[in-house]
Amino acid sequence: MTRVGFGFDLHPLARGRPLVLGGVEVPSEVGLDGHSDADVLSHAIGEALLGSLALGDLGRHFPDTDPRYRGISSLELLRSVVALVGERGGRLVNVDATILAQAPRLSPYLEEMQKRLAATLDLPVDRVSVKAKSPEGLGLVGRKEGMAAMALVSVETTE
């Protein structure tokens, strides 16, 4: 059986934080604020994976009240989610993800994000799509108050 999951994440921007997207540190004067490294791209993919098997959300598995997750790499969290999906009989087939950001320009970093995510997810690179879209100045993302990401995953199961 093929199951599909959709994930979304949004974090505010803050000075004094690194900007990490898909495990790649992107040069920027501001980064994403959150309990972990606040990598919205990795979080959206993790949410989609959990959703594909109705396993709840990232907050349920990695609560921000737990000091073990303070500053943790979201790629580490994503590895744990992939393992959980595997324990439940799921196998990730592909990922399609989009980052929503007004700035900085992300196109120079998308290929490296794709490679790091593929390695983390144990997928061939051609099964991981990472895109970036500008909101053209609209909304809180367009005003550079935050960044968001969306992801869709396909997971095969034996049930």
Q: Looking at residue 91, what is its pLDDT?
A: 97
- At 87, which helix (H) or strand (E)? helix 74-87
What are the distances in angstroms from CA 35 to CA 25, 62, 68, 79, 90? 17, 10, 10, 18, 28
Tell me the average pLDDT across 89-115.
Answer: 98
pTM for the full predicted model: 0.97
Tell me the average pLDDT across 78-98.
Answer: 97
Q: Looking at residue 158, what is its pLDDT?
A: 86
Tell me the average pLDDT across 126-135.
Answer: 98
Tell me the average pLDDT across 5-24.
Answer: 98
Mean residue pLDDT of the chain comes to: 97
Indicate the pLDDT class of residue 81, thresholds 50, 70 and 90.
very high
CA–CA dist 136, 101 (Å, integer): 9
Q: Looking at residue 159, what is its pLDDT?
A: 72
Domains and CATH numbers, the chain: 2-157 (3.30.1330.50)
Q: Looking at residue 83, what is its pLDDT?
A: 97
